[in-house]
Amino acid sequence: MSDSSSSLRERPATAERPSTAVSAAPSDPFASPLSSRPPSVHYVQPSAHSSRVSFPDAFASRRSILSQSAFGVPAYSSALSGAARLSAGPGVIVAPPGSPPPNASAPAPAKKLPRMKSHRLPPGAEVPKPWVQGKSARAVFSYWIVYLIVLVGISIGAVQCWLTFVRVPLDRKPLCLVLDQDFSDESTVFGPNGTFFREVNMDGFGNGEFEMTTDSRNNSFVKDGMLYIVPTLTSDNIGTAAVFDGTVYNITGCTFNITRPNNGYIEQDGGLVFDWDSYYRSCSAVSNATAGTVINPVQSARLTTQNTASIRYGRVEIRAKMPNGDWLWPAMWMLPTQNVYGAWPLSGEIDIVESRGNGLRYTAHGSNFVQGSLNWGPAPDLNGILKSSSWWTDKRKSFGADFHTYALEWTPDFLRIYVDTRLHTLLDLQFNEPFFKRGQFPQTTFNGSTPVAVQDPWINGTNATPFDQEFYLILDVGVGSTNGWFPEDQGGKPWLDQAANPPHDFAAAIEQWYPTWPSNVEDRALVVDYVKMWRHCEAP
């Protein structure tokens, strides 16, 4: 046996094993000794009538250990704090983790909240029942007056609609067909037996237009049941240099002698003489770079029914598609067969539809606008067109994009122009007063520099005068003008109406406007599907 064994045996008998129990003896001799280890947390079953959960006090030491760890004060600590509050009895304030122990004195009781006011009726009080009580006369009146006003408004609106409907003037007289041209056969359109006559002219037709009108098939022809009126460049025929300088151009087939009153003869010095000045302007032109004169830079066509069809009251209907291109001026209109009341505008003019080929961004009514109007007045500088003119717009689409139907209804009592439907009215004029009174013309005007009194040329007529005579139809495409149809400073207009040579300025700006003209004929031309004319079967 080793020395260590002997030393153990030699220890004193009084040595005892260290005790882990508490030095104080338990009061209950049958209770288990307390352990030196921290007690475990035990769930305490709440009583059947309790809404709180209690935890043993040992849980506080476990919480203090967690609060001293590296976790700081996490959400778990807050949960423990909440649990401690639940375990505390009413009126006990639980300190947050890490706080010093509370004062040993008894906590102050919590302040009681005031009791909510009761909404119960006191005993014996009667429950109000307003729905069984009779309504006051004021309340009944206030209720029914609203319905009464609505009913009156609806009734007035219905009566107004009915009166407007029955008062719309309509031409109820029987109509007889005068012209029905569907352009299925070109031989019935042009030539000796044709409906339309081609005017050949270079004088600008009183508007200062820049085109010449020809009888060439380049400018007017029939194809696939449609009539085409197409503007083309004069330089395509004679060259650009000839347009601007050194050329005398005599138009072939000039119709001045046919279309002018009295075959071109005018009264002068008590007799009739041939109007040579007007003839030369109508049938020839000279280009001179020094003088700034040019040959008409554009060729187009002007077709009329002057020799074949005219009406005095009735109806005209045309289905057509407008041309596109800057400074084009398509028109379908009417002039009197005889200037009964004098030269234009004394005998009147009916513009069924006019338009401009400029695009939708043009600020003076471009190709998405169409206009109808009447021209009339006691002198060339006194035209009442502003009192008998109106327009319709498609807003977002050109009238050159599709075909539209343009109609004229004309009676002794009214004149109406519309596109596609009567709801799209271009002009609706009642003949309810004499035109001279309607015009409110001044008492004097000027003949040159001489003032002259303004006379009523229709004094012996009716309220419809001067629109009480025979009128014939004209279809044409003009180009430019100096009469104000294209306003100054609008759309980059390349000429001034009062300039020395507007046709020269227009021709010189060809690089500006010609690219806007479509290359295909269908979009550049005025395309007409059909033309129909009716007149009153019985003379009024």
Q: Residue 98's pLDDT is what?
A: 54
**30 pLDDT above the threshold of 60:** no
pLDDT band at 123; cut points 50, 70, 90: confident
150 falls within a domain: no
DSSP bridge partners of 197 = 304
Rounded CA separation 235/494 (Å) = 19
**60 pLDDT above the threshold of 50:** no
pTM: 0.73
pLDDT band at 539; cut points 50, 70, 90: low
Q: Residue 107's pLDDT is what?
A: 67
Closest CA to 297 of 338, 363, 236: 236
211 falls within a domain: yes
Closest CA to 295 of 503, 482, 513: 503
Give the mean pLDDT of 125-138.
Answer: 82
Summarize pLDDT for 420-473 with one digit per residue, the tens.
Answer: 999 999 999 999 999 999 999 999 988 878 889 999 999 999 999 999 999 999
The phi, psi pair for 91, rounded to 5°, reads 85, 0
47 falls within a domain: no
Contact 381, 445 (CB under 8 A): yes
Q: Residue 176's pLDDT is what?
A: 97
* Coil/strand/helix, residue 406: strand
| Total length of the chain | 540
Q: Residue 70's pLDDT is what?
A: 44
Element (H, E) at 82: helix 75-87
CATH of the domain at 321: 2.60.120.200
* CA distance readout (Å), 51 to 48, 83, 89: 8, 13, 11
**75 pLDDT above the threshold of 60:** no
What tokens were used for 295? 């040959």
DSSP bridge partners of 176 = 535
Query: In total, how many domains does the chain have?
Result: 1
pLDDT band at 31; cut points 50, 70, 90: low
Torsion (CA) 142, 144, 148, 154 in degrees, nearest 10: 110
Pick the residue with more confidence: 466 or 22? Answer: 466
436 falls within a domain: yes
Q: Residue 71's pLDDT is what?
A: 45
Q: Residue 114's pLDDT is what?
A: 76
Give the mean pLDDT of 350-375.
Answer: 97
Q: Residue 498's pLDDT is what?
A: 95
Rounded CA separation 332/407 (Å) = 10
Summarize pLDDT for 251-268 with one digit per residue, the tens.
Answer: 999 999 999 888 899 988
Q: Residue 48's pLDDT is what?
A: 53
Pick the residue with more confidence: 453 or 129? Answer: 453
* Coil/strand/helix, residue 321: strand
Q: Residue 47's pLDDT is what?
A: 53
38 falls within a domain: no
What tokens were used for 130? 């307003």
186 falls within a domain: yes
Contact 227, 527 (CB under 8 A): yes
Q: Which domain holds residue 516?
A: 176-244+295-536
Q: Residue 37's pLDDT is what?
A: 55
250 falls within a domain: no
100 falls within a domain: no
Pick the residue with more confidence: 105 or 178? Answer: 178
**218 pLDDT above the threshold of 90:** yes
Contact 524, 324 (CB under 8 A): yes
Contact 495, 502 (CB under 8 A): yes
pLDDT band at 40; cut points 50, 70, 90: low
